Chains A and B, each alone.
Chain A
Amino acid sequence: MREYVKRIVLLSCFSLLAVFSYAEGDTHSEINETLNNTLPAMTQALIKASYKEKADIIDSIAAIEDPNKLLILQSLLDNKLYYQKKNKTEGNNHKRILLVDMSLVKSGKPNAMLDAFDQQEVTGLSKRAVKRIGVNNALRRNLRSHLSLLKITHPDASTRIAAAQNLLKDSSAIDLKFIEKTLKKEKNPQVIDILKTTRGLMLLKSEQATIRLLALEELDGSLYPEVRIELNKFISAFDEDSKKQRSDELKLAEKTLADIETLMTYNGYAENLYFGLALGAVLLLAAIGLAITFGVMGVINMAHGEMIMLGAYTTYVVQMLMPESIGASLLVSIPAAFLVSGLVGILIERSVIRHLYGRPLETLLATFGISLILQQAVRSIFGPLNREVITPDWLAGTFMVNPGLSLTYNRLYIIIFSLVVLAVLALVLKRTLFGLQMRAVTMNRPMASSMGIRTGWVDALTFGLGSGIAGIAGVALSQLTNVGPNLGQAYIIDSFMVVVFGGVGNLWGTLVGAMSLGVANKFMEPVAGAVLAKIFILVFIILFIQKRPRGLFALKGRAVDNG
């Protein structure tokens, strides 16, 4: 009944609009009039409609022939379809429909607002004068499947792949013939694969048992998550009677599912390994700097986490300074963060730490104090709220190994980045004069000093180097987690854990330590849960340190004794 009333209301809406447009038709051309009766009129109806009514309107928009409908539907999906709140100057209830890009409006750039139908720029409207036509999840899904049908013939292959994936997700609205027709024309192997899977899923719902059996064979070994969803549905739909009657089908379906699950288990191992390496890379980045300040110099630096935080805030500031190019700003922030954190590190070393060499307890307390000072300083300057660091597009998304295993790009980049940082650092230590001096000073200070090395400055620069690398870690972490005053706190314990486990004073130890802790954590997590996994790791390290107090790769010789 309610549905019926809504229909009537909608119909009368349309007819009213038609009347208005008819009244206008006197002055406008014939073409304009037909336009008013179709896409623009329906778009008008969207303004007042409830979410349920909007679904009907979207369906009817998708059904009409209009070159503009793709743009309108896409804008609606992208939250770019707006209307002007107050313009009834034309003597009817028509509101002007606009395509608005709010980010352009905020930065005051041209072409921020366009008329939805003639694409002419509209100026002189503030952001409060327009209101967005909202969509919810159900509508978004609906829009996406309509758009996919339109885009499956798009010339660009990646657009077609995305469209095909959407069709796979929601195959209920598609015509089987349409898929066959598209398959014939399609050349891209990936699109063909996805469409064939889609066809298989559709055939699974067929009335004929033979077709269903064929579909099951077609689906064997397919790793798309949708296939598992549909197979599970298929199997759970069997009741006692049909289990007996169609036992061959059930058996085949169960076997197909079991095959896929086996493949997925291997995928699961690969995924866990990747997750572990990614976690290890984060630990490595956080710990490398500490491997120098704590590992090489022996300074228990509780402010290490805050150096990471400073790096993350530097990323934020750089991004504020160059809002045009988010991607480039990230690259600029790497040296910037190194300098900022490095200089702060040198300052701390010169003003506080150098007076406390050989007094570990006082160093610990002093650096802990510094960490609190830095946190509160950042809180006073930037405020207590987290800051927004935008992720550039090339860092988002996944790299598809197979349909059931996708690796996220941001983690992939961080793994590579952490290894590059480690390699560069190793080079600096092994191949440069500064590296040589640094090693000399840590091994035997009086001797190095008598050779003419200014040990004081080497200390300062070493501390600066360690802090600067912590700053670089901050750049990477800003892409993964919150940029806030407490960022560093979350990583300080983990960093010490890695350095102690890997062996104090050894970069390779840090690498192996970080990666093995990361992988161990990730393989334990699905079994034990995140909280317990972390506890197990800590217990393991405590036991390990009892057995090997100097960590995995202990340095031998005088350096250790001189500490």
Chain B
Amino acid sequence: MRIEINRDKCSGCEECISSCPFEAIVMHEGKALINELCQICKMCITVCPEGAITEIDEGEEQKTVQEGKGVWVFAEQREGKVASIAFELLGAGRRLADELKVELSALLFGSSRLEAENLVKWGADKVYFCDNPIFEKFNDEPHAQLLSDLITRYRPEIVIAGATPIGRSFLPRVAARLRTGLTADCTSLAIDSETGNLLQIRPAFGGNIMATILCPDCRPQMATVRPRVMKKGEYREDRKGEIITVNADNLISRTRVIESVKDVCEIAVNLHEVDIIVSGGRGLGEPKGFKLLEELAGLLGGAVGASRAAVDSGWIQYRHQVGQTGKTVCPKLYIACGISGAVQHLVGMQSSDTIIAINKNPDAPIFNVASFGVVGDVYEIIPLLIKRLKESRETGNP
């Protein structure tokens, strides 16, 4: 299979050149010409306004996977600080790279050289680091452009990023541009020992089923990975690696971040980042029940979650909502207070390590996913638990 340009039809408009992700088309005597970098991605065929580009099937159809080598991890940062998902990705990436016997590289756009060096200590053999000020705030286009360019140049076989608001927003642009697959929100990654393909396992249909996804014929194989599922890499102060400074000019962004507004809340609402979530539902009966949960969450160093019923009742803001139309979380401990456990809520929290459920109704479905179930009154159990936690703290005797 190859791509051919009909020189008589070609008008020399150069549309195909800008569409080509592989820099495989050049201008020659006013006409487009395809060179040996062509990956037969067929992007040019779609954009050519003259219909001058066609695919020639030479009969000996043979599916060849585009070559690629190495595992890449996108290390996202906010205000210069690398997010904890990056260390989890390095843990997962290290495992994949060792199995494939290839290098593990991290990509850091924005932030500082110090943070880049830190990524080496967390397991990266190489760090591609770009300190262009355009990355100070998150905008999709420059991220997509630089990552696509680097992938085209260095051809990794696997690229993973966090399934965070950042990773889930710009990675799709990269996949679209490079004509490759992207699997969202994976909870497990492995290498198929026979083919060497990446097995990408993810929940689908609201967590009712799990699916294994493959990207057999395109490279790189790309996935976003759910935060707090993979084990962090091993931090070693003495690990050595290479920092490669990437110069990126001509990056543009047509979106502009005017301001970043942090949640002003005494207790964290970043449900993806905390180990413990204390969550409340309609069973609390009134908004002030959340004051109690906040107090418990504060004592445990956790955050407050909520069911949709509680959010819809106006007792707490949407950003606390856990479940299908809210956030999917998997903390070490999830304490469900007065939550009956509709499927839509369960799919958002059932992969938590430990679940404690407190509900008056012994038949509440929440008990089906609970590690510990308490049939009882939240207003009896939680204040007592708070009291005992405070006492043990005061006596210094945990």
Q: Do A and B come from one complex?
A: no
Residues on B lying within 8 angstroms of A by beta carbon are none
